[in-house]
Structure formats: C-alpha cells, structure tokens
Amino acid sequence: MKRIFLTLAIACSVVALHSCGGGAKQDSKETADSANEAKAPEHMDSDSVATTPLAVSEDDAKFVTEAANGGMAEVELGKLAQEKGKHADVKAFGEMMVKDHSKANDELTTLAQAKNIIVPATLGTDQQNMKDELAKKTGREFDKAYITEMVEDHEKDVKLFEDASKNLKDAELKAFVDKTLPTLRTHLEHSKKIKDKLDQ
C-alpha cells in the first residue's frame, strides 16, 4: 500500500513540475528522466497502479531522453543559423539540421510513445543557455561559434549513438540508432569542413 502512495506522490510531483510556470525553472530532460525512472519496472511492484510502466529498460529510456533533447537542440540552433548566419554554407547547414533532425525527432518521439517513455518538452538548461549565447552573436562571429558548437555536438552525438548501438536492449530503438548513425557521421564531417573553411 505504501508503494501505491509513493508512486502516486512521484506522479503528482512530475505533473506539478510540468505545470509550474512561476517557480524555479526545471530542466525538461531531468523531469523526463525522473518520470521515466518512476515508471521503470524495477521501481514498481504489482500493487503500483499510478503509472503505465516503461516497455524498455531504464537505461534505454535515458538514452531516448538524451537523444530527444539533443535532437531538439539541433533543430532550434539550425533555425537560428538560417536566420542569423552570414556565410552561405552556415545557412545551408542550419537548413540541413532542421530537416534531418526534425525527421529523426519525429521517429524517436513515435517510438517513445509506443514504449511509454516521456521525452523532454523543451530544451534542457545547457542547450537553452547555448541558444541564448549564440543569439547574441552576429555575422562572422555567429558563424564561427555556431559551427564550432556543431562540431562538438556531433562528436558527442556520434559517441552517444555508437555506445547505444552496442548497449541498447530494445531492438526497435537499436534499429533507429543504426539507421540514424550514418546521418550523424555525415553531419560531423560536413561541419568540420565548414569550420576549416571559416578558419582560413
């Protein structure tokens, strides 16, 4: 019985965090991770009725929230590059980010919903801070800062997805990762070439 009340309390606190607009800002990714942890089968027993359990392991769910957060950031920063970029290659790269990552985000969100995984609704704190910092820059300064960020982001993305390809337990998530990884590697190589061009 105590487990039921505990699970209800966790669920209520997650809802409260999502709906709380005036209090301290809550990182959307952390909120999603906490909610998914509460839904993980290893944290529930047969008496738990407050939430629908995850259809995947907690580690698989954490990958999904991290990938969704990163993908959302690529789209937001890509839109910024289309708007503020000066160099034609930077604008074109931003357009590619919006197109490719929007498609991948949609696929991942559909998979997450099928497996009862909660994904972030807004950018995480670090990603929002990066967007805010880039938004202050203009011209060549923006181009160089954006492409440097894209190189670093895609190095992390490729590593995240390579590790996921080896470690994910869910077959459908692994198939998504293996399909998306070549695109991320292409993005990384392309961003490096643009960075070299801007550094000349």
Domain assignment present for residue 15? The answer is: no
Q: The domain that contains 193 carries what CATH number?
A: 1.20.1260.10
Judge whether 20 lies within some domain.
no
Length of the chain: 200
In a domain, residue 78? The reply is yes
Residue 12 placed within a domain: no
Q: How many domains does the chain have?
A: 1
pTM given for the model: 0.75
Are 80 and 194 spatial neighbours (Cβ–Cβ below 8 Å)? no
The reply to whether 172 falls in a domain is: yes
Alpha-carbon span 76 to 128, nearest angstrom: 9
Place of tokens 């959307």: 28
Range of the domain at 176: 56-199
In a domain, 26, yes or no: no
Taking a C-beta distance cutoff of 8 angstroms, is the pair 68, 108 a contact? yes
- Six token digits for residue 60: 């698989």
Residue at 171 is within a domain: yes
Say how far apart CA 91 and CA 130 lie, in whole Å.
18
pLDDT tens track, the chain, 200 positions: 434 333 333 334 333 334 443 333 456 556 655 555 655 555 444 444 445 676 678 888 899 999 999 999 999 999 999 999 999 999 999 999 999 999 999 999 999 999 888 888 899 899 999 999 999 999 999 999 999 999 999 999 999 999 999 999 999 999 999 999 999 999 999 999 999 999 98
Q: At what angle do helices 58-84 and 28-39 cross, to 10 degrees?
A: 160
